[in-house]
Chains A and B, each alone.
Chain A
Amino acid sequence: MASKPRTLYEKIWDAHVVERREDGTCLIFIDRHLVHEVTSPQAFEGLRLAGRPVRRPELTLATPDHNLPTTARIDAAGQRLPIADSQSAQQLGALEANVAEFGIRYFGATARQQGIVHVVGPEQGFSLPGTTIVCGDSHTAAHGGMGALAFGIGTSEVEHVLATQTLLLQPSRTMEIRVTGELGPGVTSKDLILHIIGVIGTAGGTGHVIEYRGEVFERMSVESRLTVCNMSIEGGARSGLVAPDETTFAYLKGRPFAPQGADWDAAVEYWRTLRTDEGATFDKSVVIDATQVQPTVTWGTSPEDTAPINGIVPDPDSFADPSKQDAARKSLAYMGLVPGQPLAGLPVENVFIGSCTNSRIEDLRAAAAVLKGRHRADNVKWAIVVPGSGLVKEQAEAEGLDRIFTEAGLEWREPGCSACLGMNPDKVPAGERCASTSNRNFVGRQGPGSRTHLVSPAMAAAAAVTGRLVDVRELI
């Protein structure tokens, strides 16, 4: 008898079941674990208090990103510069001490491989198709762009993975997002995922793992797929997936932790089986027409508050759900916007190009293409470009992108999470707007009182040179 057709998610899940309990909860093996400084200290402390070792230290990779300032880390003499904030310094010091004590591989603050965990994992070939990947960070969903089942976990679960290399989980429901047609010129993977979240809502994927399907994703680079999957969590899904293919294999080949030689051939043979079977069914299915997607911006304080750049700020009364009306009114008051106001032309004082969503080389190239030969507008007070890793930084400098940024009046920084989350020194002042390539426009996310408009790297670059939200297609 032929086995039941399975989705990609179900194949990866089945391959990782250590044990299935009678109540349906499964003990799932975790192939790869990424650790950063913010969500791990309490987990290591828990291990210490219980006298437990790390079960498989070689399957964990640590690097600092959230709390690390993006200004210079070494002085002219090559000496490490101190971190001014004592609490940040203590937390970063705790990670260094913990990785040393528990024998975990570590790319420290001054290593060239250091960077945002979700940039480092794929770049190093540590994140592989068909694997289970976790990290104490909700944007772990990004690694689904490699065809991995990747999701964010809390600190108690970080401790559980360190101690057991497993997690106790209930299987998720499956959701297909099928995108038909092609994206228009100047419309990117970031615009597409913002549009998708606008359609499904921030709770649209709750309890589900999304598989992104359709030719748009097949034609996308791995980096664009990482951007799409990264924001699955903003649609409520813990995880998003794109099936691995030749593009994925070409991206991975030769990376430091990717299989080599005969192992590579065996791995590719296995990875080729990781596709949703013909006839497999999803619990939920959404179809999106790519030709309808425009360069997209957010107007509110939830990532579902999206509109095309040439659209207007909606009237809260236009929403059917009373609780959404209330939320939209609060959002507009916070954002300093009124219903019916055009989004294009809105002045911005800050521009942030970076974050685990958009800090890879492709993102920096897209921003540089718009910035080349242009200059930051006078009303833009602060504009920074923050590469996702030291290796992205090296690559960008080899291509001369850093000079394009600095000649355009943008600052070129060291790798880290930067202004995405209002934790390290990179923050947006209260009451000011930021055109940001990050993933969240929550109240206070980029600093208390900050007003975030989420956009693609090209749109952020366009905002930097015009000083307002603008349709980048007018500049290319």
Chain B
Amino acid sequence: MDAVRAIDGRAIPFGLKNVDTDLIIPARWLKTISREGLGVGAFESVRAEPGNVFDDPRYAGAPILIAGDNFGCGSSREHAAWALADMGVRAVIAPSFSDIFSGNAFKNGILTVALPQEAVDRLLLVAQTDPVSIDLETQTVTTPFQDRFTFPIDPFRKDCLLRGLDEIGLTLARDGAIVGYEDQLAATRPWLVRGTALPA
């Protein structure tokens, strides 16, 4: 994963509440066996409407998306994060995010910035005309108009993002602890694994 530090640029003022991952990327696009190229299907039903924000030239290539409460709810499809990344979105600002989506976004280096509704409303307004800046190190969102909002982030995720760490690599380095757990499990709940033994 590439390190993430600061994201500056135009922000798409979408604003919709309860954006589900079916809306971000409909299931018919999920037949792919690759992570690439999903941007073309992103927000397909929204883009079918004339004058939608995603096709507004002001927001072409915008690295930030601003949405309403409960962004990314529904299906666990990581394709939603891949589609956003493929569109060039590197951060989403919303009052709240679904648990699964925020995990998927993090794994793909997309920042999920949770701010109170009032702050999101202010940013939706600013985004009409001006850029927005996000700084991960200081956990702040700023605008050219002296707005400054701080956002929370899990310290572990922040560290991984800033350093661009590979989580699987990190866990594999803890192999001794996993082996220790497996030994203890085999001693205390041996029935848990006997039933699933594969034929030799």
Contacts and interface: CB of A to CB of B under 8 A. Distances in A.
Interface stretch (A175-183, A253-261, A381-389, A467-475): A253-261
B68 A323 contact: yes
A202 interface: yes
Given A25-B156, A29-B178, A164-B172, A202 B73 contact: yes
A423 B75 CA distance: 13
B197 interface: yes
Contact of B76 (A45, A153, A263): A153
A202 B27 CA distance: 20
A270 B78 contact: no
Given A257-B196, A442-B20, A443-B22, A138 B191 contact: no
Contacts of B18: 202-203, 302, 304, 327
A453 interface: no
A313 interface: no
Interface string A19-51: 101011101010100000011011001100010
Nearest to A42: B35
A238 B193 contact: no
Interface stretch (A123-131, A278-286, A345-353, A457-465): A123-131
Interface stretch (B2-10, B54-62, B96-104, B139-147): B96-104
Nearest to A128: B192
Interface in A35-94: 38-39, 41-42, 45-46, 50, 52, 55, 57-59, 66-67, 85, 87-88, 90-91, 94
B182 to A, nearest CB: 8
B192 A157 contact: no
B168 interface: yes
Contacts of B171: 27, 160, 163-164, 166, 168
B73 A423 contact: no
B198 interface: yes
Given A103-B198, A263-B190, A327-B17, A160 B156 contact: no
Contacts of A445: 22, 27
Interface in B160-200: 167-168, 170-172, 174, 177-178, 180-182, 185, 189-198
Contacts of B97: 206
B177 to A, nearest CB: 5
A131 B22 CA distance: 29
Contacts of A45: 33
Contacts of B197: 58
Interface string A138-150: 1010000000000
Contacts of B76: 39, 136-138, 140, 152-154
A19 B175 CA distance: 11
A105 interface: yes
Interface string A97-109: 0000001010000
Report the interface size class on chain A: 35 or more
Contacts of A327: 16-18, 68
Contact of B98 (A236, A421, A448): A236
B181 A58 contact: no
Residue of A29, A126, A172 with most chain B CB atoms under a 10 A cut-off:
A29
Interface string B54-89: 000000000000001110011111100100000000
Contact of A125 (B17, B20, B185, B195): B195
Interface of A: 18-19, 21, 23-25, 27, 29, 31, 38-39, 41-42, 45-46, 50, 52, 55, 57-59, 66-67, 85, 87-88, 90-91, 94, 103, 105, 125-126, 128, 131, 136-138, 140, 151-157, 159-160, 163-166, 168, 170, 172, 202-203, 206-207, 233-234, 236, 238, 257-260, 263-264, 266-267, 270, 302, 304, 323-324, 326-327, 421-423, 440, 442-445, 448
11 contacts: A94-B33, A138-B74, A170-B156, A203-B18, A257-B195, A263-B194, A267-B189, A323-B15, A327-B68, A423-B31, A440-B75
Interface of B: 15-18, 20, 22-23, 26-28, 30-35, 44-45, 68-70, 73-78, 81, 96-100, 103-104, 107-108, 117, 154-156, 159, 167-168, 170-172, 174, 177-178, 180-182, 185, 189-198
Given A59-B196, A203-B73, A422-B27, 12 more contacts: A18-B177, A27-B171, A27-B177, A29-B182, A159-B168, A164-B168, A164-B178, A166-B171, A166-B178, A233-B74, A259-B191, A323-B69
